[in-house]
Chains A and B, each alone.
Chain A
Amino acid sequence: MIDNDEIAGQVRMCAACPKMCRHVCPTFFAWRSDSPTPHGRALIIHYNNTGTQRLDSRGIEVLYQCLECSHCLTWCLPEIDIASIVEATRRQIVDAGSQPEGLIEMARSIETHHNPFEEAHSERTSWVKEKGSGAKSVIYFAGCTASYREQSIAESTASILSETLGYDVIVSDEEWCCGSPLLRTGHYELALETARHNVDLLNSVDAESIIVSCPGCLRVLTQDYPEHGLKLNKPVFHISQVLQERIETLPSGAVDGTATYHDPCHLGRHCGIYDPPRDVVERLMGGGLVEMEHNRDDAMCCGNGAGLRTLFPDKAREIGTERVEQAIRTDADFLITACPFCKNLLDAQSLERIEVIDLPELVKRAGQQEGQE
């Protein structure tokens, strides 16, 4: 966490920057105004700090229009991290009870149902078909989106872990939301409550590691939990890392055609994981991987982050559509991502012009195609 003095110094500098990174900000793309931009957000906070203009409801809205995607950081020479600054300010906004109405419902849902979708907790593991019986146990922390909205990612991940990689896969009925939607929108207290529950749960299970398929969970488990003094007693890996480690077990060139890969912000820019998913895609695709113009730390966000889709669904979709257009321009047959959140939005915006699938789903499909040959 950056402290208030550091934030004040950074926003003072950024507020008057000649807009050097605005061209990559997805919310500038969606609104085409100087308000929802990196320097716009800094200026709002700077003027609040100097007392020039107190944060009003529009100012708060501008801060909640940020995807916290950190794309601006890639282009910022003085390395001003607007996403973190916005997140720290959102925390104060929530403490003052001034956050947007739509997010209050989301937070309530996590408090009551342990997921942001107002789904019954009892349904969380309804996708689980069978337990694995491998020699070594791993916990699969499926996360909310895969559990309720993208169950095929959860199923594929669990079956790869057990069938392809031979693990005994533990999925707990007591898994709660990792807290990512809460942390990213400023609801710290509630986030820490759910975090503590998860840490107690995960630490009590006898397993060699925790595997996630959601980069949002990965970031929270590996960075936010420790930052708040919550220690997990086993390592956490994203499924792409596990697959890269065991790449020789994957069928080479099993899926016909070419694929392009969308870097999820939480996996790429926030956790630095760029090559593992690419290696897996390269291995599985007969026609290989073709990069989009904007890739790796310069990849455009899918639009589904930090509460934007909840609060401004049209704009989230506009951003998602642009990312799909970028994928279509590569002429690839598939748009692969490695995040249930990204997959969900990109798939909805693809309108079947390109097939959107998540990495574990691709692996599963490769296994099936190989089986057919």
Chain B
Amino acid sequence: MVDAETLSILKTRLSDVVGEANVSTSVSDMILNAHDAWPLSEARIRAGELLPTADMIVFPATTEEVAEVLKIANETSVPVTPIGGGAGTCGGTLPIYGGIQLDIKRMDRVLHIDHESLTVTAEGGIVGIELEEAVNRNGYTTGHTPTSLRASNLGGFIATRSGGSMSSLYGKIEDLTLGLEVVLPDGRVIECKALPRHSVGPDLKNLFIGSEGTLGVITRATMKLFPIPEKRSFRSMCFPDVHSGLGAIKEILQSGIFPSVVRLYDANDTAMSVSVHFDVEEGDCMLMLAFDGLPEKVDLEEQLSAEICLKHGAKDYNEGPSKRWWEHRYDMYYPTKFTTAGYSIGDTIDIVATYDKLEDVYHSMKAAMEAHDAVVMSHFSHMYPNGGSIYMIFFTSQPTAEEAWATYKRIWDDGIEACLKAGGAMSHQHGVGLSRSTYMEGEWGAAFSVIRQIKEVLDPNGIMNPGKVGLGVRE
């Protein structure tokens, strides 16, 4: 927490930079802007608990303003927590050491569409859906389709190394980002030029992609564009088990076919998400596929993929379940009476591994998590030729808040331990934030010291989002 005198001086100085109307120290504003969509924060809010709040919130409108704010914070060693859309799932925006919350939502302009190179340059605060609608009007898509598209913003997507549900075809945000503008903790503004590829030293932009506000503020980015696909088709295939489904997925992707959607639901998830709408045999696992592009290509890819699935023992459900999922893909994120009752809490551990370890990771995590009075269901999505991600979704409900939060932590601890032991990595796209912060040493091993050293050099006063991603943790 910042003392009253420093706070008052800071407020005056920051108001001079961004205008008085764009600085708030009101308690209500601090509360309303603190949290992201971390399920633990959500459950604690429902329980009436107060979450950590900042001392002030600042809304800059330009890169220059961001730079000035960071200079002042750096000079006074006041923590700065950047806020993107505020829909991250790891507690990344919680200002656990107080200080300034830097919300860049006013930086929401599309700056340039390059029709020749198929790129778009926009400010970091633009909400995903606003950017997508703007490029759609020109006949393009960004190809980035996370289910937080309506809430998260471009800066947040990049800061968390996020992935859309069509990443098998279009790629994750790190594949889609061609150039970046970043404000460093001391207020310097750097640009990583938009390029299709390069060989001029290490790729600096990748240091910031996934840095979750710990190394600087992403103020602008140049992203790839794709023509809106002429055709999108859906196909669903039901397998007797996860193993045969994964076998088919591997063969499809390794034969050079890249469906836009590849989602294999395990038996529990199929029962929860699919059997309510379609007649599925108990224990079966549904694979949902989609194909994007020119009609001839789509037809051929669909036909070849279907043949591979049938060869692996699948039953053909045609477009039904897959199309329904696409049309209702946002539904599962809304609160319901059931998921919010009492001290209920759920979360998703979105691990990633190569194929040689993937099934092992799945089985050991499932066993470890189920040991704690939790319902666990999973789907394999964001699949690539060499491996993919699993959404390990769990849900538990306990009689008291203390028991619920403690059970939640045990599920996480044991789930992550099992994941790392089996050779997986603890996140494919959600990031680290606060929820995975304590596991960073275990995940990275000795290599984490390199990240620490980079942090110390770029942010010697430790002002940028301290306590997140395992960096800048204070006593």
Give the complex CA separation of A78 and B331 in angstroms: 10
Query: In the bound complex, do residue B45 and residue A46 qualify as a contact, i.e. CB atoms below 8 Å apart?
Result: yes
* Size of interface on B: residues with Cβ below 8 Å to A: 42
Query: In the bound complex, do residue B335 and residue A33 qualify as a contact, i.e. CB atoms below 8 Å apart?
Result: no
Set of chain B residues within 8 Å of A19, measured between Cβ atoms = 37, 85-87, 150-151
Is B414 part of the binding interface, using a Cβ–Cβ cutoff of 8 Å? no
Set of chain B residues within 8 Å of A33, measured between Cβ atoms = 29, 32-33, 57, 59, 103, 105
Set of chain B residues within 8 Å of A34, measured between Cβ atoms = 32-33, 86, 103
Given A12-B340, A52-B48, A20:B137 Cβ within 8 A:
no
Give the complex CA separation of A59 and B24 in angstroms: 13
Give the complex CA separation of A75 and B62 in angstroms: 31
Query: In the bound complex, do residue A53 and residue B340 qualify as a contact, i.e. CB atoms below 8 Å apart?
Result: no
Set of chain B residues within 8 Å of A53, measured between Cβ atoms = 27-28, 31, 50
Query: In the bound complex, do residue A18 and residue B46 qualify as a contact, i.e. CB atoms below 8 Å apart?
Result: no
Interface hit among B125-133, B177-185, B274-282, B452-460: B125-133
Is A228 part of the binding interface, using a Cβ–Cβ cutoff of 8 Å? no
Is A293 part of the binding interface, using a Cβ–Cβ cutoff of 8 Å? yes
> How many A residues touch the partner, as a band?
35 or more
Taking CB as reference atom, which chain B residue is nearest A36?
A: B32
Is B49 part of the binding interface, using a Cβ–Cβ cutoff of 8 Å? yes
Interface string of A31-45 (1 = CB under 8 A from B): 011110100100110
Set of chain B residues within 8 Å of A52, measured between Cβ atoms = 48-50
* Selected contact of A32 from candidates B50, B59, B137, CB within 8 Å: B59
Is A13 part of the binding interface, using a Cβ–Cβ cutoff of 8 Å? yes
Query: In the bound complex, do residue A16 and residue B45 qualify as a contact, i.e. CB atoms below 8 Å apart?
Result: yes
Give the complex CA separation of A89 and B253 in angstroms: 55
Is B43 part of the binding interface, using a Cβ–Cβ cutoff of 8 Å? yes
Given A43-B45, A52-B48, A17:B334 Cβ within 8 A:
yes
Query: In the bound complex, do residue A51 and residue B48 qualify as a contact, i.e. CB atoms below 8 Å apart?
Result: yes
B245 to A: closest C-beta gap in Å: 29
Taking CB as reference atom, which chain B residue is nearest A17?
A: B335
Is A230 part of the binding interface, using a Cβ–Cβ cutoff of 8 Å? no
Is A328 part of the binding interface, using a Cβ–Cβ cutoff of 8 Å? no
Query: In the bound complex, do residue A58 and residue B336 qualify as a contact, i.e. CB atoms below 8 Å apart?
Result: no
Instruction: For chain A, residues 3 to 24, give those with C-beta under 8 angstroms from any C-beta of chain B.
Output: 12-23
Chain A interface helix/strand/loop/mixed: loop
A48 to B: closest C-beta gap in Å: 10
* Selected contact of B48 from candidates A50, A58, A78, CB within 8 Å: A50
Query: In the bound complex, do residue A56 and residue B37 qualify as a contact, i.e. CB atoms below 8 Å apart?
Result: no
Instruction: For chain A, residues 220 to 269, give those with C-beta under 8 angstroms from any C-beta of chain B.
Output: none
Set of chain A residues within 8 Å of B331, measured between Cβ atoms = 77
Taking CB as reference atom, which chain B residue is nearest A13?
A: B335
Is A47 part of the binding interface, using a Cβ–Cβ cutoff of 8 Å? yes
Is A76 part of the binding interface, using a Cβ–Cβ cutoff of 8 Å? yes
Query: In the bound complex, do residue A62 and residue B151 qualify as a contact, i.e. CB atoms below 8 Å apart?
Result: no
* Selected contact of A20 from candidates B57, B86, B333, CB within 8 Å: B333
Is A329 part of the binding interface, using a Cβ–Cβ cutoff of 8 Å? yes
Is B199 part of the binding interface, using a Cβ–Cβ cutoff of 8 Å? no
B136 to A: closest C-beta gap in Å: 9
Query: In the bound complex, do residue A77 and residue B334 qualify as a contact, i.e. CB atoms below 8 Å apart?
Result: yes
Query: In the bound complex, do residue A20 and residue B150 qualify as a contact, i.e. CB atoms below 8 Å apart?
Result: yes
Given A15-B45, A52-B49, A44:B108 Cβ within 8 A:
no
Query: In the bound complex, do residue A18 and residue B333 qualify as a contact, i.e. CB atoms below 8 Å apart?
Result: yes
Set of chain A residues within 8 Å of B333, measured between Cβ atoms = 18, 20
Give the complex CA separation of A52 and B190 in angstroms: 43
Query: In the bound complex, do residue B340 and residue A58 qualify as a contact, i.e. CB atoms below 8 Å apart?
Result: no
Query: In the bound complex, do residue B33 and residue A35 qualify as a contact, i.e. CB atoms below 8 Å apart?
Result: yes
Query: In the bound complex, do residue A20 and residue B330 qualify as a contact, i.e. CB atoms below 8 Å apart?
Result: yes
A319 to B: closest C-beta gap in Å: 15
Query: In the bound complex, do residue A16 and residue B129 qualify as a contact, i.e. CB atoms below 8 Å apart?
Result: no
Give the complex CA separation of A253 and B19 in angstroms: 51
Set of chain B residues within 8 Å of A35, measured between Cβ atoms = 28-29, 32-33
* Selected contact of A18 from candidates B57, B105, B127, B151, CB within 8 Å: B151
Give the complex CA separation of A115 and B335 in angstroms: 42
Is B198 part of the binding interface, using a Cβ–Cβ cutoff of 8 Å? no
Give the complex CA separation of A56 and B31 in angstroms: 12
Query: In the bound complex, do residue B127 and residue A16 qualify as a contact, i.e. CB atoms below 8 Å apart?
Result: no
Is B42 part of the binding interface, using a Cβ–Cβ cutoff of 8 Å? yes
Query: In the bound complex, do residue A44 and residue B151 qualify as a contact, i.e. CB atoms below 8 Å apart?
Result: no
Is B106 part of the binding interface, using a Cβ–Cβ cutoff of 8 Å? yes
Give the complex CA separation of A52 and B45 in angstroms: 10
Instruction: For chain A, residues 55 to 83, give those with C-beta under 8 angstroms from any C-beta of chain B.
Output: 56, 58-59, 62, 76-78
Set of chain B residues within 8 Å of A43, measured between Cβ atoms = 31-32, 45
A223 to B: closest C-beta gap in Å: 27
In the A-B complex, the 10 residue pairs with the closest CB atoms = A50-B48, A16-B42, A18-B37, A32-B105, A77-B334, A58-B28, A58-B26, A19-B151, A23-B150, A16-B45
Please give the residue numbers on chain B whose beta carbons come within 8 Å of chain A beta carbons, in ascending order.
26-29, 31-33, 37, 41-43, 45-46, 48-50, 57, 59, 85-87, 103, 105-106, 108, 125, 127, 129-130, 133, 137, 148, 150-151, 330-331, 333-337, 340
A-B contact pairs, 29 of them (CB 8 A): A13-B46, A13-B337, A18-B37, A20-B150, A20-B333, A22-B150, A22-B151, A23-B129, A23-B130, A32-B105, A33-B29, A33-B105, A34-B33, A34-B103, A35-B28, A35-B32, A43-B31, A43-B45, A44-B28, A46-B48, A52-B49, A53-B27, A53-B28, A56-B26, A58-B27, A62-B28, A78-B337, A293-B133, A329-B137
Besides A34-B32, A43-B31, 17 new A-B residue pairs in contact (Cβ under 8 A), listed by A number: A13-B335, A13-B337, A14-B335, A16-B46, A16-B335, A18-B151, A19-B86, A19-B151, A20-B150, A22-B150, A33-B57, A35-B32, A47-B31, A47-B50, A56-B28, A77-B331, A78-B335
